[in-house]
Amino acid sequence: MIRRYVALLHVEALTVRRGTRTVLENFNMKIESGNCIILTGENGSGKSTLIESIAGIIPVQSGKVSIQRPFGITLQSGGINGDELVSERLEYAAMASGVSKPKELLQHWNLEHRSHDRIGQLSGGLYRRLAVLQGLMPAYGDQPRICLLDEPSEGLDDESVTTLLTNIVSLRARGHAFLIATHDARLHGCATTLLEINGQSTEAKPTHNTAEIPQFTTTESKLSLARWSSSLDRRTKWPLLSRGVPLIASILVLFALLGNEIGSLILVPTFLASIPCLSSLHHAKEGRSGDWWMAMGGRVFTVDPLSILLILVSPLLTASMFGIGEVSSIWMVAGLPFIGIYLASGAIHELAMKMPRTGSQYAPLLLLVLIWPLLIANDSVSACSDASMCTDSWLPLIVATGIPLIIWFGLPILHPRTASN
């Protein structure tokens, strides 16, 4: 029984444009605990846009969203990286949702037998079950929460749809709220309101029965994004593949072409190892898993120690392979500008990922700016290639380090705003 009503979501004058088209204009909504709103409308009418705008995933033209955190979200595309384990995804969702030790939910949703499998090995139906479970996770706690579900029944078999209905109705009866975008009329059985995207609403009465379902203690919400990214790094070896391969390949090519006459090209391999996308951003692209982390309030920008170490030692490695080892201290310091380039490159890729059209031309154009610190660093150490004392190299290296650090620090101000910030 609901003892008090809590406002879990308030949308004010929300306007969203996609390209030249205004998808939502001055949209208003308020959802309190115990409500289940079903969004209806044709394809392209703005149901998914509304949910992703509320979650802070896509940029908005104007308006404001106030949402109680933590909240749950199930994206239409899943929002899960295929290299995660099922048990890992459950743990990340539980930590972000502030729910303690929910292992029995795997059994509740008939996923326990796949708990140690990679998510990419699941069938489409099992993958969808996990995505729905992730979206419902905050509501399994004992405090009122809201869950945003985008086409949650898509790809589920009849038994799983029944489980979904039972869970939504039972969780709503405990005081949780739901905003669901769906074409599936079966889900109308859990609705308290049917809302057309144009603003017309119809009161409804849930027809599906409640049942005893798991409930857990609410704890403090925590994001473990760095842990998520590092575990995927170990599993996929992405830092080595994205940075080590260009580094070694470019060293070998330059050695084959130039031998010991490498001259001012000595730092080119280090540059090539510095500019690939951060591993966390790379992992975030699969299945839109990064959008789930952003909705939870995280910044999908984590630094992996292996990449840092590889970049730092690569000038010394290159100099050693070309027989330029007389002044080893300068080659250790020469890696610092490229740590800055690594961070700046990550900020540029992050900006491109957050733009309305993901994968647009912004990243390659802005990356050209990073050639400037490369040229400064090259000039500062070029004298070392002929075994001189490398005098007066320190100040240019400091300048070459500072330029990308300024880009890394300042670029987030260009990120498009969302209604929740």
pLDDT at residue number 326: 56
CATH of 7-203, one of 3.30.590.20, 3.40.50.300, 3.20.20.150, 3.40.50.2300: 3.40.50.300
Supply the pTM of this predicted model: 0.91
Position 392 scores a pLDDT of 60
Q: Are strands 36-40 and 193-196 parallel, antiparallel or unpaired?
A: parallel
* Structural domain spans, the chain: 7-203, 225-414
Q: Where are the alpha helices (DSSP H) in 182-304?
A: 225-236, 238-239, 245-258, 268-274, 279-285, 289-295
Eight-class DSSP state of 243? I
Low-confidence ranges of the chain (pLDDT < 50): 1-3, 387-389
User: How far is it, in rounded angstroms, from Cα 177 to Cα 144?
Assistant: 8
Torsions phi, psi of 29, nearest 5? -160, 145
Task: Using alpha carbons, select from 42, 41, 54, 49 the residue that is nearest to residue 17.
Answer: 49
Longest CA–CA span in the chain (Å) reads 84
Q: Cis (ω within 30 of 0) for the bond into 70?
A: yes
> What per-residue confidence (pLDDT) applies to 232?
96
DSSP per position, 49-98: HHHHHHTT-S--SEEEEEE-SS-EEE-TT----TTSBHHHHHHHHHHHHT
pLDDT in tens, 109-132: 999 999 999 999 999 999 999 999
Whether residue 418 contacts residue 57, with contact meaning beta carbons closer than 8 Å, is answered with: yes
